[in-house]
Amino acid sequence: MVLFDQVSVQYGAGPQILKDISFTLAPGSFHFLVGRSGAGKSSLLKLMYLGLRPTSGLVNLFGRDVATLQPKDFPSIRRRVGVVFQDFRLIEHLSALDNVALPLRVAGVREADIKRHCSELLSWVGLAEHLNALPATLSGGQQQRVAIARAVIARPNLLLADEPTGNVDDVIGLRLMYLFEELNKLGTTVVVATHNDALVSRFTHRQLRLEQSSVRIFDPAGVSQPASPYAMPTGGTTAGGTTAGGTTGGAA
């Protein structure tokens, strides 16, 4: 699904944000991406949604080497990735429903189906009364839920969420996490970047920990990691690279 091999990222002449990162995400896996602010979580996610090209190393998405992709290949890969942006990135002049509908419209889904699916999903995240509301009239938490609904509406193969529970209360936060888990059970690979240690500790999903520009994998369930071409000691120990596969699902 996702393979990083010796991937480094550096913005201009600045310091390396990511340095020789190697890991793989198996299809249907669920990972938290944790690390302090500035550790490179957003950059790592950007690499996975083709928002950034690595300075060096190999990034392979859905079996395609990103370096060999032509611009015309980007849309089809991006349609397989759902992204919840930290700053939501909702389109201000579109209603909540139209924001959520965007991935379906881009995919050419029939308008009648779009209305039905989007209404259902927005109702599920508690925004049934705000279908036609513009983002500016919604609270931060409501905007975040719209952003999440937009990311999951097309049932992506890979869901990337950057601090998806940062602006919602614990109850809504948990509800959203359950939504991610439901998608994960249906086969979506999920990566959730978060600062929220309390939230992370409620689940037994593997953790990709970014520290000092390197990635370290942590498996709270203590399940041994399968070997991989990039295998390093895992299970809570520092890993220059590792394979992180399988669904561990379920709230703790």
What is the contact surface with another protein in residues (CB under 8 A)? 49-51, 71-72, 74-81, 83, 89, 91, 93-94, 98, 102-103, 105-107, 150
Which residues are CB-neighbours of 63 under 8 A, at least 6 positions away? none
The neighbouring-strand residues paired with 217 are: 208
* Listed residue (208, 221, 240) closest to 33, CA to CA: 208
Provide, rounded to whole angstroms, the least separation between the CB of residue 15 and another protein.
25
Provide, rounded to whole angstroms, the least separation between the CB of residue 93 and another protein.
4
> Nearer Cβ to another protein, position 15 or 108?
108
DSSP conformational letter for 56? E
Provide, rounded to whole angstroms, the least separation between the CB of residue 225 and another protein.
31
Provide, rounded to whole angstroms, the least separation between the CB of residue 119 and another protein.
16
- Burial of 147 per CB tally in 10 Å (0-12, 13-18, 19+): buried
> Nearer Cβ to another protein, position 11 or 74?
74
CA distance 84 to 65: 23
* Listed residue (229, 206, 237) closest to 29, CA to CA: 206
> Nearer Cβ to another protein, position 81 or 121?
81
CA distance 22 to 229: 10
Count the residues in the chain.
Answer: 252
Residue ranges of E strands in 93-188: 158-162
* Residue tagged 């990709």 (tokens): 208
CA distance 80 to 212: 30
> Nearer Cβ to another protein, position 24 or 143?
143
> Nearer Cβ to another protein, position 80 or 175?
80
Provide, rounded to whole angstroms, the least separation between the CB of residue 91 and another protein.
5
Provide, rounded to whole angstroms, the least separation between the CB of residue 47 and another protein.
13
> Nearer Cβ to another protein, position 85 or 230?
85
The neighbouring-strand residues paired with 16 are: 10
